[in-house]
Chains A and B, each alone.
Chain A
Amino acid sequence: MAEQTILKATNICHSFGGLMALKDVDFKISSKEIVGLIGPNGAGKTTLFNLFTGHYCPTRGEIYFNNRKINGLKPYQITPQGIARTFQNIRIFSQMSVLDNVLIGQHCRTKTGLWGAIIRTSGSKREEARAYETALKMLHFVNLEEKKDEHASNLSYGEQRRLEIARALATDPTLLLLDEPAAGMNPQETSTLIKLIRQIRDEMNKTILLIEHDMKVVMSISERVAVLNYGRKIAEGTPQEVQNNDEVIKAYLGESA
């Protein structure tokens, strides 16, 4: 890939008390790639996401996003720079409408403050209209437009996962991190999801890193796959290379292959 690197992590270590969840992990993502991140339960995949998005600060190592150091920054400082994520355990704003959920994604791209809100200045009205338009576009994209006025908690599981994706897209990221987006989906929903992820990259020009246990999903959409095991990166390469890697088979696919 001759594309430029947008995320670079070097020598990442992260420990929870005595437990080393990540050990010396190096990681790189190039622009417009779809990268899969796999590994057995507890391998440290979600922890890596939490480090990239500022939910944790790495014990050691550095993370650069678009050549700017981001480790040590808070999530609300990293999101505006262009990283968005979904959560392994869905975290939608359940008591709010579907549309409001996505509108919140536009928070970091809008500015209206207290005063603008009370007075409803023409600037804040215009901004609100634009945010509304963007939110509707994202809902249309994930095919939830008709449900925009529903309470988010009334959506089905698969719909909630798609809502989380729409909300993340509304932050206008360049890099989208998806934590097990297919978990709990039926085969039909999963195949829609695969199409959706491809569309996000091809039509919206996003870079995608996804954690997924469903091997069909990972192997079919990833151009590159990285494998974590016990906090170490044990392999990286094309889906074929990874599937044929002895260490991976031993550590991970061994159970099923």
Chain B
Amino acid sequence: MNVYYLQLLILIGINIIMASSLNLVIGYTGQLSLGHAAFMSLGAYTSALATLRLGLPFGAALLIGAVVAALFGIVIGLPTLQLKGDYLAIATLGFGEIVRIVFLNLDITGGAVGLRGIPKETDFLWVICLVLITGFALNRIIHSRVGRALLAIREDETAAESMGINSTYYKTLCFGVGAFFAGIGGGLFAHWFRYIHPNTFGFLNSIEYLCMVVLGGLGNMWGAVIGAGLLTIIPELLRQIADLRLLIYGIVLIIMMRVRPQGILGQSQGKSTHTLSRYYKQILGKIKNR
């Protein structure tokens, strides 16, 4: 296969993992997290150090990276998930920046230079298998007692608690699961590009994943896949105007909010309670109250 297309497919696969795991947090549980790239970076750095320094096999390194990301997800989620809406968004955004700055200043992660010479372990087979595993696991979670609890929290946290659902526990759990798969995405990324540095996983990357989820449809499994595919391919087609990428994202989001707030595949029945425009309104409301 042409190397260029192979790389595009691998990126699409990684982005599907990233978007669908973020979808669990934002789309299904209703927690607006802006730190998804930070969990990816934790998985990327941990797995890269595991193969580079410890010589561990790729599979083990991926798993360790994912577990470390998940542990951070839980530790960070426990206090911050007490916050609602935009406050949570700001806290997760801050967490992402802290992670980036820590990596920037640690010796073991190579500081601003980052890690080079990571073995090229990621290939098409690894990516396709992990995309399928991620999709399978997330789908099973969503269609289970656990998934119903997450949806209930998104719909009405007070009512969910009165049904016996410990919302702090489930929100933290979903944060941990989301971070776990983001860690896998990071491991795949690091062992494909073979070079990572702190700015590979910045705030704007988190926003990119958010855009994929919103474009595809919050709370829809296939939506995240379509969103990830579109927002990986379109920028490639528009390479000449790469500088305008963020502008285009912004325009896409605004158009979506006006025309189809539930995303391409999102549900449109009843009153939508979990669309981006809700978050947007919340944030506007908070600004006005100041």
Contacts and interface: CB of A to CB of B under 8 A. Distances in A.
Interface of A: 53, 55, 74-76, 79-80, 84-85, 87, 91-96, 100, 103-105, 107-108, 110, 112-114, 116-118, 120, 124, 127-128, 131, 151, 153-154, 167, 171
B163 A112 contact: no
B269 A154 contact: yes
B40 to A, nearest CB: 21
Nearest to B136: A118
Contact of B273 (A53, A94, A131): A94
Given A93-B159, A118-B140, A131 B145 contact: yes
Contacts of B272: 95
B166 interface: yes
B145 A55 contact: no
A130 to B, nearest CB: 11
Interface in B142-160: 144-149, 151-152, 154-156, 158-160
Contacts of B219: 95
B154 to A, nearest CB: 8
By size class, the interface of chain B is: 35 or more
Contacts of A85: 162
Interface in B121-169: 136-137, 140-141, 144-149, 151-152, 154-156, 158-167
A108 B148 CA distance: 12
B159 A92 contact: yes
The residue in B167, B219, B270, B272 that gathers the most chain A C-beta atoms within 10 A of its C-beta is B270
B162 A53 contact: yes
Contacts of B14: none
CB-based closest 3 A-B pairs: A108-B164, A153-B270, A117-B144
Given A96-B148, A116-B144, 15 more contacts: A53-B162, A76-B161, A76-B166, A87-B162, A91-B156, A94-B271, A95-B154, A100-B148, A100-B151, A104-B160, A114-B141, A117-B140, A118-B137, A124-B145, A153-B270
Contacts of A112: 144-146
Interface string B161-197: 1111111000001000100000000000000000000
Given A79-B164, A108-B163, A114-B177, A93 B158 contact: no
A117 B146 contact: yes
B277 interface: no
B100 interface: no
Given A96-B151, A118-B140, A154-B269, A128 B162 contact: no
Interface string B91-113: 00000000000000000000000
A100 to B, nearest CB: 6
B274 interface: yes
Nearest to B153: A93
